[in-house]
Amino acid sequence: MVSVDEYRAEIRSLLGTAPAVALPLLDCAGLVLAEDVLAGVSLPPFDNSAMDGYAVRAADVAGASADSPVELPVGEDIPAGRIDVPDLPPGTAHRIMTGAPLPPGADSVVMVERTDGGVERVRVFEPVAPGTHLRRVGEDVAKGTVALTAGTVLGPAQLGLASAVGLAELNVYRPLRVLVVSTGTELVVPPQPLEHGQIYESNSITLAAGIRALGCEVETAISTDDVGLFRDAIEPRVGEFDLVVTSGGVSAGAYEVVKDALTGLGVTFKKVAMQPGGPQGNGRWNGVPVVTLPGNPVSVLVSFEVFLRPALLAALGHRDIDRHRVRARLTEGLKSPSGRRQFRRGYYWQREGQVTGEVGPRGGPGSHLLAAFTQANCLIVLPEDVTEAPEGTEVDVLLL
């Protein structure tokens, strides 16, 4: 048996790191920047107005008040987008809009609300300090400096900034193309009718949804437990993918299609000291990384959480690959098999003012209890040397 930590490392090194690729900004959402981005322009690119109003010299309106306004002739209109910006002669104002370039000579902007809004001449009711309502060139980003560092996860703010500094594409770690294969002669794809002895297939949707949420591209396939049919259906497609993930057919019985088809082709099967998710396999099939998960739906989810999710995140360039881990007190006693790390589905909460949260199990240890998983918000971790954890025991909890 290999330990959970050894097997995690094995899957991580199997998946490696995806190559970098240039993608249009919107296709980069959720992906990780592969290299630093230098700002090709300053932000703001020029001194500009933060308000709709009048560009003035502060000295010209120094004595203004509601009772004795200062009246200035209005020279020109400077809407946002005007590129031939006229100078501001002393003793005059230009009408200016938010985002418009500050005319040379002006040192501040008076909001339109502090004036009579005049078009030919304007009466100003308040003085302004020099620099008021201005946004200075380079205040946000200076041209030539690093606007986004390699390793940044690209969300709305980061992609907006990339566009703001003039980029249409970014170099990101390429989303992996993953083939998810469910195996089992008993499997029926909804909404086909079900015979007694058959079940509806669910692992492919579980895995595809989990993998796609990380930013990968996913296709799914279903195979019976016939080794020949499995090889004929899947092998020709393997080369199109960066990773193949199978579920089912890896344990100890007869008709273990994945084990039977891939043993001797570069995939090795082993037992990991965990529950659920004990029977596992991985390797390369025609050079393509393959991870073979056990078939039980909860084993699939737990294996995804413990092995695949962190390895995929690392391959996609993420640094933060682990779920947040907190300590919590069990609200119910739990039993765990000796020598195995048990991951129980749980619900974690923290009362106001409480330092350590509380956690209660959702469903039993059975790896077929998929509905209970949907009620869970965490995995409770019971270490290898723990066989009994009474109510009140402090445990590690992985927040999902």
Ligand X SMILES: Nc1nc2c(c(=O)[nH]1)N[C@H]1C(S)=C(S)[C@@H](COP(=O)(O)OP(=O)(O)OC[C@H]3O[C@@H](n4cnc5c(N)ncnc54)[C@H](O)[C@@H]3O)O[C@H]1N2
Q: State the residues that interact with ligand MOO by CB under 6 A.
A: 275-278, 294, 296, 299, 367
Q: Which range, of 146-154, 182-190, 358-366, 382-390, touches ligand X by CB under 6 A?
A: 182-190
Q: Which range, of 108-116, 145-153, 293-301, 387-395, touches ligand X by CB under 6 A?
A: 293-301
Site size toward ligand X (CB under 6 A) is: 26
Cα dist from 238 to 77, 187, 220, 233, whole Å: 64, 22, 12, 10
Shortest reach from residue 358's CB to ligand X, in Å? 29
Shortest reach from residue 302's CB to ligand MOO, in Å? 7
210 binds ligand X (CB under 6 A): no
Question: Which residue of 32, 128, 250, 330 would you call a contact of ligand X, by CB under 6 A?
Answer: 250
Q: Which two tokens stand for residue 230?
A: 């499995």
Q: Which range, of 7-15, 202-210, 324-332, 351-359, touches ligand X by CB under 6 A?
A: 202-210
Site for ligand X in 77-136 (CB under 6 A): none
48 binds ligand X (CB under 6 A): no
Q: Which range, of 40-48, 209-217, 244-252, 349-357, touches ligand X by CB under 6 A?
A: 244-252
Q: Which is nearer to ligand MOO, 48 or 247 (CB)?
A: 247
Shortest reach from residue 339's CB to ligand X, in Å? 14
Q: Calculate the CA dihedral of residues 239, 242, 247, 250 and round it to 10 degrees.
A: 70
Shortest reach from residue 337's CB to ligand X, in Å? 10
Q: Which range, of 123-131, 163-171, 275-283, 301-309, touches ligand X by CB under 6 A?
A: 275-283
Question: What is the amino acid identity at position 132?
Answer: T
Q: Which is nearer to ligand X, 122 or 291 (CB)?
A: 291
Shortest reach from residue 208's CB to ligand X, in Å? 11
Question: Which residue of 185, 198, 202, 268 would you call a contact of ligand X, by CB under 6 A?
Answer: 202
Q: Which residue is nearest to ligand X (CB)?
A: 295
Question: Which of ligand X, ligand MOO, none sits in contact with 250, Cβ below 5 to 8 A by type?
Answer: ligand X
Each residue 351-370 as x (binds ligand X by CB under 6 A) or -, in order, gives: ----------------x---
CA-wise closest residue to 334 among 378, 364, 358, 299: 364
Q: Which is nearer to ligand MOO, 8 or 94 (CB)?
A: 8
Q: Which range, of 82-90, 140-148, 201-209, 390-398, touches ligand X by CB under 6 A?
A: 201-209
Alpha carbons within 13 A on the beta-carbon side of 363: 19
| Pairing verdict, β 134-135 and 48-49 | antiparallel
* Residue 105 falls in which region: left (phi positive, over 0), alpha (psi -120 to 50) or beta: left
Shortest reach from residue 254's CB to ligand X, in Å? 10
Burial class (CB in 10 A: 0-12, 13-18, 19+), 263: middle
Question: Which residue of 92, 108, 152, 296 would you call a contact of ligand X, by CB under 6 A?
Answer: 296
Q: Which is nearer to ligand X, 8 or 340 (CB)?
A: 340
249 binds ligand X (CB under 6 A): yes
Shortest reach from residue 255's CB to ligand X, in Å? 8
How many whole angstroms separate alpha carbon 348 and alpha carbon 366? 20
Shortest reach from residue 252's CB to ligand X, in Å? 4
Question: Which of ligand MOO, ligand X, none sits in contact with 53, Cβ below 5 to 8 A by type?
Answer: none
How many whole angstroms separate alpha carbon 308 and alpha carbon 326? 21
175 binds ligand X (CB under 6 A): no
Q: Which two tokens stand for residue 232?
A: 């004929």
How many whole angstroms separate alpha carbon 264 and alpha carbon 231? 13
Which residues are near ligand X by CB under 6 A? 182, 184, 186-187, 199, 201-204, 247-253, 256, 276, 278-279, 294-297, 299, 367
